[in-house]
């Protein structure tokens, strides 16, 4: 099992669709309940994927954090890797930091995926990538040292990420 975690609107459902559009056995529809956006939500996608939506607003840090940690630790044995999505336009935000801290604290192996790379200029993107890379190198222990920049619109980086997921899950279908 792998998990995709990130703020609402960071591009999780679009990424899942882009990654698995060729795999008919994976149900790619990520259901969302409008009106329930204040709480952290967990969605199963197919058998092997979980998506965690962390609302940026009204995020109840202590309670939701406990929920998140419990869910993670329960599934920990099967959890091969956590993919933490960060919007490449705005970089690491407060909510992203909470997820990073959780992964660090519980020593969960995680990977930072930069989404929506088609949206900014090359210069802006490069600046964000370097900044986040520096953060990963200097401040993290459990984070995979390479970032995965992707776009669900142009499909840039999708193939590489798909291969990476296949290699960590041992599933090369």
Following CA atoms 86, 91, 96, 101 in sequence, which dihedral angle do they give, to the nearest 10 degrees?
110
Q: Which residues contact 33 (CB under 8 A, 6 or more apart)?
A: 41
Return the biggest CA–CA distance within the chain.
42
Single out the segment in contact with ligand GDP by CB under 6 A; choices: 2-10, 58-66, 70-78, 93-101: 2-10
Cα angle: 146, vertex 44, 81; to 5 degrees: 25
Q: Per CB under 6 A, does 48 bind ligand GDP?
A: no
Q: Per CB under 6 A, does 125 bind ligand GDP?
A: no
Single out the segment in contact with ligand GDP by CB under 6 A; choices: 37-45, 110-118, 131-139, 160-168: 110-118
Single out the segment in contact with ligand GDP by CB under 6 A; choices: 33-41, 76-84, 94-102, 111-119: 111-119
Q: Per CB under 6 A, does 14 bind ligand GDP?
A: yes
Residue among 13, 50, 82, 95 that touches ligand GDP (CB under 6 A):
13
Q: Which residues contact 15 (CB under 8 A, 6 or more apart)?
A: 4, 85, 113, 115, 150, 152
Contacting positions for ligand GDP (CB under 6 A): 6, 8-14, 115-116, 118-119, 151-153
């Amino acid at each position: 099992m792998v998990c995709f975690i990130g703020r609402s609107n960071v591009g999780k459902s679009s990424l899942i669709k882009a990654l698995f559009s060729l795999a008919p056995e994976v149900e790619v529809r990520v259901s969302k309940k409008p009106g329930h956006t204040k709480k952290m939500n967990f969605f199963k996608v197919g058998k092997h994927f979980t998506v965690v939506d962390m609302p940026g607003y009204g995020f109840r840090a202590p309670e939701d954090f406990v929920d998140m940690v419990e869910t993670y630790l329960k599934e920990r044995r099967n959890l091969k890797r956590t993919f933490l999505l960060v919007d490449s336009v705005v970089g690491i935000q407060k909510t992203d930091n909470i997820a990073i801290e959780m992964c660090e604290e519980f020593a969960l192996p995680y990977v930072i995926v930069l989404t929506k790379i088609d949206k900014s200029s090359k210069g802006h993107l490069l600046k964000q990538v370097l900044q986040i890379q520096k953060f990963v190198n200097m401040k993290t222990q459990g984070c995979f040292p390479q970032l995965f920049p992707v776009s669900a619109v142009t499909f840039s980086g999708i193939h590489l990420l798909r291969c990476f997921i296949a290699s960590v899950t041992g599933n090369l279908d």
